[in-house]
Amino acid sequence: MAPNELFQYSIVTALMDGVAESGLPLSDLLPRGDFGLGTFRHMVGEMIVLDGVIYQMKADGSVTSFGRDQLNTTVTPFAMVTHFRPTLSTKVTVKSKGDFGKLLTDLMPQAKNIFSSIRLEGKFKAVVVRTVGGQQHPGEKLSKLAESQVAHSFEDVQGSIVGFRSPSYMQGISVAGDHLHFISADRRQGGHLLELQTDGEAELAIAAIRIIHTELPTSDDFIQATLQTDSEGITKAES
């Protein structure tokens, strides 16, 4: 795939419906992009892909990366990746996640109806993340899991925020609006981003995405799922 094209495996609505039994091997994901996010089989933890390395951030607070031999045997039921080549870089001070959203809109007003990839690098006064603990039984819905998610707060931490802004008309296929994951510079802390505050200026890099490749699962659970968009549920669970 060319730089700044998006590859997505499955759709968020499938996760909402609990379709997470099988998926794409990580060895097939990485060639499509070295930057992005997603989840793992049975929705155990949060995925962040940064500089070509895939990390799994679990509810117990642990973070692990995958060696070459593990990439074939580990699958993702949902992921979004790109070969990120920033088209805009600037320094920003961010007070909150809401503030970050407004700042992104101001910086790229032309990007409302296309995708954007986002990387924010720097020191953070505060970061709050959540990590999904994983399904207790096959087919358990993400909307249910989100109720028992674990939140972690970090203070004075160096790290990276990675993610995408998706247009509102993509709700259900991806997460409309900003979907961001965080990992600390020492790669020991992270998760799905709920809140942030930078410590002074941080380095923001953005790219516009207009070409989207989506691969849909062929598994029975996907074929048989209801897959009706639950916009409110997605916003609650994922944004």
CB atoms under 10 Å from CB of 168, counted, come to 10
The interface region with Zn ion, picked from 54-62, 149-157, 184-192, 210-218 by CB under 5 A, is: 184-192
Nearest residue by C-beta to Zn ion? 192
Q: Which is nearer to Zn ion, 224 or 231 (CB)?
A: 231
**Could you write out the three-class secondary structure of 9-51?**
ECCHHHHHCCCCCCCEEHHHHHHHCCEEEEECHHHCCEEEEEC
**CA 11/CA 227 separation, integer angstroms:** 9
Among 8, 146, 192, 225, binds Zn ion (CB under 5 A): 192
Contact assessment for residue 26 and residue 160, using Cβ atoms and an 8 Å cutoff: no
Distance CA 76, CA 28 (A): 10
Return the number of the residue (69 or 232) whose C-beta is nearest Zn ion. 232
Q: Are 115 and 209 in contact (CB under 8 A)?
A: yes
Q: How far is the CB of 200 from Zn ion (least distance, A)?
A: 26
Q: What number of chain residues touch Zn ion (CB under 5 A)? A: 1
Residue 165 interacts with Zn ion (CB under 5 A): yes or no: no
Stretch that binds Zn ion, among 62-70, 125-133, 147-155, 191-199 (CB under 5 A): 191-199
Q: How far is the CB of 27 from Zn ion (least distance, A)?
A: 22
202-209 and 88-92 as β-strands: parallel, antiparallel, unpaired?
A: antiparallel
Nearest approach, Cβ of residue 132 and Zn ion (Å): 8
Closest alpha carbon to 214 in 21, 73, 24: 24
Q: Which is nearer to Zn ion, 134 or 199 (CB)?
A: 134
Measured from the CB atom, the residue of 141 and 192 that comes closer to Zn ion is 192
Considering the complex, state which of residue 97 and residue 192 has its C-beta at the smaller distance from Zn ion: 192
Give the shortest CB-182-to-Zn ion separation in angstroms. 10
Stretch that binds Zn ion, among 69-77, 88-96, 136-144, 185-193 (CB under 5 A): 185-193
Q: Nearest CA to 119 among 60, 62, 51?
A: 51
Residue type present at position 109:
P
Element (H, E) at 117: strand 115-131
Q: Is 47 or 206 the residue whose CB approaches Zn ion more closely?
A: 47
Using CB under 5 A as the criterion, which residues of the chain lie in contact with Zn ion when the complex forms?
A: 192
